[in-house]
């Protein structure tokens, strides 16, 4: 399952690492946009397969930021 950025911004902080077991709504990473912090959360329970971004990297709205294997 691909997880996308809801807004254009910068990856401020990564909260979960690949291999982590996540519950629905667990925070994966936090984007900074217009001086606001926007959490990107897991849409369902599962294992974080891959992060597609790094801290400090710019992302565009709709860009894939992570992949999740749903439980």
Residue 66, strand partner residues: 3, 51
Domains located in the chain, CATH noted: 2-70 (2.40.50.100)
Compute how many other C-beta atoms are within 10 angstroms of the C-beta atom of residue 56.
10
**Which pTM was predicted?**
0.93
pLDDT digits (tens, 9 = 90+) for 13-61: 999 999 999 999 999 999 999 999 999 999 999 999 999 999 999 999 9
Instruction: List Cβ neighbours of 35 (8 Å cut-off, separation of 6 or more).
Output: none
Answer yes or no: are the C-beta atoms of 20 and 46 closer than 8 Å. Answer: no
Which pair of structure tokens corresponds to residue 19? 């291999």
Q: Distance between CA atoms of 45 and 10, rounded to whole angstroms?
A: 25
């Amino acid at each position: 399952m691909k997880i996308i950025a809801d807004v254009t911004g910068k990856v401020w902080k990564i909260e979960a690492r690949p291999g982590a077991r996540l519950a629905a709504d667990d925070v994966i990473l936090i984007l900074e946009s217009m001086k606001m912090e926007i959490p990107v959360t897991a849409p369902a329970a599962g294992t974080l397969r891959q992060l597609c971004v790094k801290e400090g990297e710019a992302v565009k709205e709709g860009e894939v930021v992570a992949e999740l294997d749903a439980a």
